[in-house]
Structure formats: structure tokens, C-alpha cells
Structure 1
């Protein structure tokens, strides 16, 4: 800019424009026109009203500049949409991406309403599963001082997750980025389905907790859909997240046992009650990343690949 100012002050800029800088000027004009177009398109999206998981209409007047996320899956979506600069607060449990560590922590099991209000967000993205620590009364308090709170559905399918990504994209003025994120996930899933199409089917038991009781991932859960992509049988036929006795676990006798937390691995392999299970005898107990296999966000493909590496190591470690 200083160079142009110096040229202008000596009158040289006029000569340059007359001497053949029309192409550069046209490029500048095109860039300016594109920026104006983008600004108009962004402005046209607002105000926007979206119905959340509580069947509550949430209206955002303009593209939010100060966003607080109350659960890691939401945070990953927001960062994936390119909203690093706009995110001002995240939960204590946020650990991805690395930039999330630099944001102000606003609570984990409980959230401080005074802190949230003091941060002056123009959008808070909450989660249906977190309402035990952030109830509808708290939401009403935030909304009473003009802070919109969008409660994301606790999704159990990929399609529901795509809808969540679309809605967060709408609320933040990032609809194109949301569409691109969904397309990338879908392409990754299609590639995995091709990779496993001709593999021999295995039965898999997913352990999601062992202290004090053993809990499993059953049918109609997010992780079950990941298993379906891999074309493997979920040894847990019950819905949701059932508790299993030692006897039930042994009787299920899957080809593979997968745990989502390191501590659970020791609890499984060191328990003499499980010694006769095929998976134990054959050394087929594996640990996978509990974050990517449970968070309903942009790392779905990474979660499926984590499971794939445990079940079909020769195929997924190529």
C-alpha cells in the first residue's frame, strides 16, 4: 500500500494506468465484485430461524462472531466449518482440534451461567445429552438476556449427524462449508464400504465401560452404524447401551472384543472369568479411539477406520 501511495504522490500511477495496467485493474474489480457477492449472500442468510432438539425455534440475527460450544462434538463441527476465530469458549472435555485447547473453558459436568453471560456470546451451541448439567431453566436464563441457545439433537445415525452439521452451518453462515463437510464424510464412507465388501464377516462386541459393570454398544447406536459400514455383526443384539453380566458376555463369544478406553482393556484381558472366550484366547481384544467412535461430528470416517484397523488390520493398515 505504501508503494502505491508513493507512486500516486508523484503522478506516476496515472501513467501506469494509461500504459497498460488494465488487466490488473480488472482483476481487482473482479475480486471486489466477488467479495461484494459473498457479502450479499452471507447477509441474505440472516436472520435465520432453526428448530432445535427441544422443538424450540432459535433465531440468529446475523452471522455470529462470538460462539460458545458446550460439548466436544459440536466444537469439532464448528472448527471444521472454519470458525476458529469466532469460537470463544468450549467445554472442559474438549481436546480436538489442538486449537480448542487455547479457548476459554466454561465447564464440564456443570456450567456457570454467570461466566457464559460475561463472555457475551451471540450463539451458544448446547447438546441434548448434556441437559443433565445445563437444563431448560438455564437455557431460558441465557435467552432472557438475548443470547440464543441452540440445542443439538443426540443423534444415533449418520443422517441425523448430517442434519446437525447442516443446521449449525445455517446458524453460523457456513452453509457451503457444511455441504462440503458432509460430502467428504459420505465419500470416505463409500470408500470404506468398497474396501470391506468381499471380506469374511466377523462378530464384534464393543465394550464402552467396565467400572463397576460391563456396558456394551447395542443396536440403534452411533457406533453400531459404524459396524454396519464395516460389514461386521454386532454381537450385542439389545438396543442402546445394555449392561452385561459376566455370563452374558462369555456366552456372546464374539470373534473380536473392542474397548474404547485403555483401562477397560486391562479389565477384560485380566479377568479369569473371560478366559474361555475365543477373542481372549486368540488375542483379539483391541483398544480403539473412544473420541472418534463416539463423537457425532466430522471425524466419523476416522472412527470407522479405527474400528477397521482393529478388526481387519491387514486391510486397513495397508
Structure 2
């Protein structure tokens, strides 16, 4: 009898919650960017379907049931999906996907120029694209939609908060809201730990982040993910007076004299050695202090679960003394 009363009470609470959220207990159309997640008697309930979410290009994508066949078109999406424990559901990934190791074993769909026919042949329930590549591939995306396949274009996140939102959204789209929350909480904990370690540094260091080698040396300026990483670890970006990804002449780098040079590419085995050997760089503090450090580009630029590790990599590269290195 006691259990029966508990069941009746829970049902009544659920009705009131539905009425409060939608104004109509039989209205099954979710609000924009909102899943059908309820909280009954203080307990979190897994997202229900159908769910309608707005993607990065403004399309409302209705997902009827939790997808069982997923195609990911960019490494950051893939890392999130694996983090959400969807390894078995992933049937296709891009040619660049290399993490986790299991991603490399999945069928490939191409890179920036993806194979539309191959994707359609996989017959996925949903394809997760990305805003960063959408402009040059819009026709291909539409062909996939025309084949009756749901396409969700993921936002090109520019900071940690937008990355958290991306993980949360993909969690809603796949019925993995609990797992998404756990990933986000773990990332925030890691970020807080790193920030706490560097908050009391005596002198803020100046940094030059190099994303491509000479002769065309590029660096991230303001309004980039790298800028946020530098801000969080308490370092000064010598290119912060410019926005986006900019080319900088060697003479200008010498003039701005960074304390640390962070190298963000590894496709050249001698990347760090080449920086030390550049003509005229001998006067730069980073060269004299042997402070040219290579970091893993993937964990510092992919908008996924490993970004917190990327933040730590930046902190260790710039303030190794804080970490006992």
C-alpha cells in the first residue's frame, strides 16, 4: 500500500511538472534547444524522445529516438561521442579522427571534402557536422538531408563555456544527458585545479604561440581559443592586439620578445629545433632561456573533453616551475 501511494504521488507530480513546463499536459513539442528532461522528486531522469534542437546554422532538428547509427564529420565531435559512451553507435568518422584509438578503426567518410555517397550508404540515424567546415560543404550537407538523414551542425566553440554547451547539446541529441554532465563536471574540476596552481605566479610571462612554421608563421590573436587558454593560465599573448589567426613576421616576433614560445604543430620532427635556429632569434628571451615548448595540438584545439588537459599543457609549458618541472 505504501508503495502504491508513492507511485500515485510521483504520477501527480509529473503531471504538474508537465503543465508548468508546457502549459498543456498533452503538448509533446519541445521548446527550442530544450530536451524533454524532467526532474521528479529530486531525481534526474534521462532525456526522452522525440527532442528538437536548433543547430549552429539555425536548423531545427527533430530526433525521434535515440540514434543507434551515428556519423561524425570532425575529430572534436568524435571525441565527445566516444566520451558519451557511444562507441558502438558510431559507424563513420573523418579521415583525421585518431582519438581514442578505436576511432581509427571506424569506417572513414573523407575529410573537408567528405564522401556523400559513403555517408548515405551507411544509413545513419544522424550525422554530426561542424560549423567550421559548413560554408565550403553546404551542398554536400543538403544532399545528405535530401536522402532523409538528419544532419546536426555543431557550433564552432570559441571558449570553454561554448564547449560545455556543445557537449550538453550532443548529449541531449543522443540521450546521454547524464554522461554529458559528468564530462562537463570533470572538465570544470580540472580547469579549476590548473587555474588555482598558477594564480599566484610572481610575474606574468609573455607568450608567442606558433601554429605554423617559417616562412609563413601564423599565431592566434584575440578572440581565439588559444587566447582564452593564455588568459586562464595568467599569461600575456604578444599577438593579443590582433584578432583571429594572423601571420607575423620574424622581425616582429623578435621585437615583441616573448618569454616563452609555444609550438602547436608536430608534423615537422624538428619543429622546436628549427625555432631555436632561426636567424635573429638569438636575442629573444625564450631562446636564451630555452623556453621553446611543443604542446599537443589536438588537446589544445579540439573542442571536446580533453581541452582541460590542453589547458594544463599550456600552463606547464609557460610556468613549469609551478608544476615542479
TM range (shorter): 0.7 to 0.9
Deviations 1:61-120 (A, max 9, x none): 110000010110000000001101101111110110111111111111311111000001
Task: Give the aligned length.
Answer: 278
Q: Where does residue 140 of structure 2 map in the other structure? A: 138
Counterparts of 2:243 and 2:46 in 1: how far apart (Å)?
Answer: 44
Q: Where does residue 271 of structure 1 map in the other structure? A: 278
Checking the alignment, whether the CA contact within 8 Å between 2:46 and 2:178 is kept in structure 1 is no
Q: How does 1:240-259 map to 2 (within 5 A)?
A: 240-259=244-263
Could you tell me the TM-score, scaled by structure 1's length?
A: 0.83
Tell me whether 291-300 or 196-205 shows the greater mean CA deviation.
196-205
Counterparts of 2:126 and 2:322 in 1: how far apart (Å)?
Answer: 43
Q: How does 1:233-312 map to 2 (within 5 A)?
A: 233-237=236-240, 238-262=242-266, 263-312=270-319
Q: CA deviation at 1:267?
A: 3.3
**What SS does structure 2 have at the residue aligned with 1:121?**
coil
Counterparts of 1:187 and 1:90 in 2: how far apart (Å)?
Answer: 29
Counterparts of 2:274 and 2:150 in 1: how far apart (Å)?
Answer: 44
Which structure's CA Rg is the greater one? Answer: 1
With over 3 angstroms needed to count, the CA separation of the structure-2 counterparts of 1:108 and 1:212, relative to structure 1, is: farther
Q: CA deviation at 1:212?
A: 3.9
Q: CA deviation at 1:132?
A: 5.2
Checking the alignment, whether the CA contact within 8 Å between 2:54 and 2:61 is kept in structure 1 is yes
**What SS does structure 1 have at the residue aligned with 2:124?**
coil
With over 3 angstroms needed to count, the CA separation of the structure-2 counterparts of 1:69 and 1:317, relative to structure 1, is: farther
Counterparts of 1:44 and 1:292 in 2: how far apart (Å)?
Answer: 29
Q: How does 1:168-207 map to 2 (within 5 A)?
A: 168-200=170-202, 201-207=204-210
With over 3 angstroms needed to count, the CA separation of the structure-2 counterparts of 1:174 and 1:229, relative to structure 1, is: same
With over 3 angstroms needed to count, the CA separation of the structure-2 counterparts of 1:308 and 1:138, relative to structure 1, is: same
Provide structure 1 residue ranges, at least 5 long, that are not aligned to the other structure: 1-36
Aligned CA RMSD, in angstroms, stands at 1.8
Runs of 4+ that moved beyond 3 A: 41-44
Q: Where does residue 25 of structure 2 map in the other structure? A: none
* Structure in which a larger fraction of residues adopt helix: 1
Q: CA deviation at 1:315?
A: 2.4
With over 3 angstroms needed to count, the CA separation of the structure-2 counterparts of 1:150 and 1:211, relative to structure 1, is: farther
Q: How does 1:1-318 map to 2 (within 5 A)?
A: 45-131=48-134, 135-200=137-202, 201-237=204-240, 238-262=242-266, 263-317=270-324
